[in-house]
Amino acid sequence: MTPPEVAVEEVDRRSETRYQTQDPAEIEILPGPSAPLFGTVLDVSRSGLRVALQNRISRGEHVKVKLHRNVIFGEVRYCRPVPNGFQAGLKIQDLVRPPGRQDEHIADDPLSLYAVGKGLSVAEVIDMREHLAHCEACRTRLARQQEALNPGRKHRPPLPGRANG
C-alpha cells in the first residue's frame, strides 16, 4: 500500500492551474505492445494530464500517450468511472518532442492563447509551462497579457511598489 501522492501537488498548487484541451490521444499500456486505447486529453496541469477514455486503466500502470506530434510517457494516478466512460489522471514523466525546436522564448501568439486559456495543444502547454518555470522574462510578459485580458482582476503585479489598493 503506497500513500497517495497528494502532498506533492499541494505544495505546487500555484502552478497547477489546469489548461483545457480537446486533443485526441492514443494510449498504450507499457510495456507494450498493447492494443491502443483512444481517448481525449481534457486538461493539462504542470505535472499531469486528465484523459477521457472508454476503458479502465489501473493506477500505477505506465502508459505512452501519443498525441498529434508528440509522445508523453506517464504513470496512471487514478482512473474513475464517469457517465460515458472513464477519466484517468496521468502524471507526466517524459515528453518526447519532434526534433528542431530548442528552448526559444514564447512567441506573442501562443502566449496570448495561454493567457486566454484555450487554443493550444497539450504539447504546447507542456512546453510553455517548462519554459515559464525558468524564464522570468516570459513570466512577466504573461502576467501583462493576463492583466490586459482581465483588467478588473488582480494578478501578481510585475512592478511591486506600484500596487494601489
β-pairing, 62-66 vs 85-96, is unpaired
**CA 80: distance to chain centroid?**
19
Helix (H) or strand (E) holding 110: helix 108-116
Instruction: Give the separation between CA 99 and CA 97, rounded to whole angstroms.
Output: 6
Which lies closer to Zn ion via its Cβ, residue 96 or residue 138?
Answer: 138
Which lies closer to Zn ion via its Cβ, residue 95 or residue 135?
Answer: 135
Which lies closer to Zn ion via its Cβ, residue 42 or residue 135?
Answer: 135
Show Cβ contacts of residue 1 under 8 Å, excluding neighbours closer than 6 positions: none
Which lies closer to Zn ion via its Cβ, residue 58 or residue 140?
Answer: 140
Cell of 141: 510578459
CB of 139 to Zn ion, least distance (A): 8
Per CB under 5 A, residues contacting Zn ion are 105, 135, 137-138
Strand intervals (E) in 45-152 = 48-53, 62-66, 71-82, 85-96
**What are the distances in angstroms from CA 151 to CA 54, 60, 114?**
41, 43, 17
CB of 54 to Zn ion, least distance (A): 39
CB of 106 to Zn ion, least distance (A): 6
Which lies closer to Zn ion via its Cβ, residue 7 or residue 107?
Answer: 107
Q: Are 145 and 155 in contact (CB under 8 A)?
A: no
CB of 136 to Zn ion, least distance (A): 8
CB of 70 to Zn ion, least distance (A): 20
